[in-house]
Amino acid sequence: MMMNEPSPITIDAADNTSPPPGPRRNVRILFRCMMLLVMFVGLDVAVGLILCRDGRFLRWPIPRYSLLFTSEARDRLYQPPGDMFRFDADLGWSLKPNYIYPKDRGAGMVNRGGFHASREYDIIAPQHALRIGAFGDSYTYSGGDYFKTWTHQLEQSRPGIEVLNFGVGGYGTDQAYLRYRRDGLPYKPDIVLIGLMLENALRNVSVYRPAYYHDSSTAVKPRFLIDDTNVLTLVPCPVATLEELWSSVASDSLLETLYETDFWVRRASLAYRGSPVFISSFASILYSGYENSGRWQAPYYEDTSSEPFRVTSAILRDFYREALDDGADHALILLFPDRKTIEGRLAGDAPYWHSMTDYLETRGIPYLDLTPHLVSASQAGGAESLFRGNHYNFEGNSIVARAVADALFAADNDSASDNDSAADNDSAADNGIAADKGFAADNELEGSS
């Protein structure tokens, strides 16, 4: 008798209670993502607690921005400007007239006319004197000891000339232009020197100084806006008194104006307006890196459509024309390189400001590029041999004075032929532009060898 073979045992898939491989893998992935998220959030919080202090990551302010970038700025908000400065509703700030420098700052004063000097100057120049007015920032001001400035050395280079130094530290070219209109024009200079330190292009599009330079004192300034036809329109200072400045900064109410007028506030508007993304310390740090990275002037000169270039070139154009229309015999643009620019040229970098010299040349505006003169003098000792901190020392100022004297008065000015590239050439005439004024005597400048 044959026995039936056992039937094979079958398992109905519906009875299988084990999770299929797919969902199990998804759970693991989800768990890992949650762990990574927790780790990221923890690291983000740790970075914020450890590395972000007083609203800063290292030296960079991080969003959300207020108009007071540090606790130090908040503490000193209600302090008046420095001992030699005053709030100025027309210019932002200016020098206090009749201020005598303390001994540790050097010999000199702010005279009753409100400009850097060693003596007083009458409104009307002496008969047969040649009066020169110099306008610009701290590279024109050129140091607290007036006897070491290039303007003093230029004045001493020839008898019968006066050099009035209207430079003010921190100024943009726009403020220098407005200072000429208000303070310089009454002295009726025969020659107007217009100083442009190359970094000034970035100041010329600012209104609230700490928005551009976050560690600076609280200050505002006028600026010029430019339209599509390259016509400038003056935007006055947004406040009329120091008390109004303090109040509008403390409340951040000044921001509404700055969103319309200040290039640097517009560029970082997200940081000022705030965003939920800035809950993350990493997002704040990344945005801060972007916002603080645009403070080197070279890209703005290389891009001639940039607002800093267009505004700065138009200011120089109008300043030059206005000086001549006002009765000056000559006007000359002085291009001052900063320390980083000289170091770059010594290292072989191409001159990034050729766009500006091209602009001036095509419009017949005379200029003196001081870069080749300073680079040549620093070949042996490096840039540090001509600088004290970020400004020219006595030797650097002496080189400036000699170059300006040659451009103005030399009977045979061949300095341009010594330059090593077309972009370095200055556009002073073969003869000094004021040699016809009878001041081309061969006098040695103080401090020259």
Domain ranges within the chain, ordered by starting residue? 71-437
Q: How far apart are CA 289 and CA 259, in angstroms?
A: 20
pTM of the model: 0.86
Q: How far apart are CA 386 and CA 143, in angstroms?
A: 13
Q: How far apart are CA 96 and CA 111, in angstroms?
A: 8
Q: What is the pLDDT of residues 295-325, one digit of tens each?
A: 999 999 999 999 999 999 999 999 999 999 9
Judged on CB neighbours under 10 Å (0-12, 13-18, 19+), 237 is buried
The CATH code that applies to domain 71-437 is 3.40.50.1110
The strand pairing partners of 233, in sequence order, are 225
The helix or strand, by DSSP H or E, that contains position 226, with its residue range, turns out to be strand 223-226
pLDDT at 91: 98
pLDDT along the chain (449 residues), means of 10: 55 54 74 74 66 76 88 79 89 96 85 96 96 98 93 96 97 98 98 98 98 92 98 98 95 96 96 90 88 94 98 98 98 98 97 98 98 97 95 97 95 44 46 66 41
- Alpha carbons within 13 A on the beta-carbon side of 388: 14
pLDDT at 443: 42
Q: How far apart are CA 414 and CA 417, in angstroms?
A: 6
Q: How far apart are CA 133 and CA 192, in angstroms?
A: 5
pLDDT at 27: 78
pLDDT at 418: 40
pLDDT at 71: 76
pLDDT at 70: 76
Q: How many residues does the chain have?
A: 449
- Rounded to the nearest 10°, the torsion over CA 338, 213, 270, 66 is 180
pLDDT at 408: 96
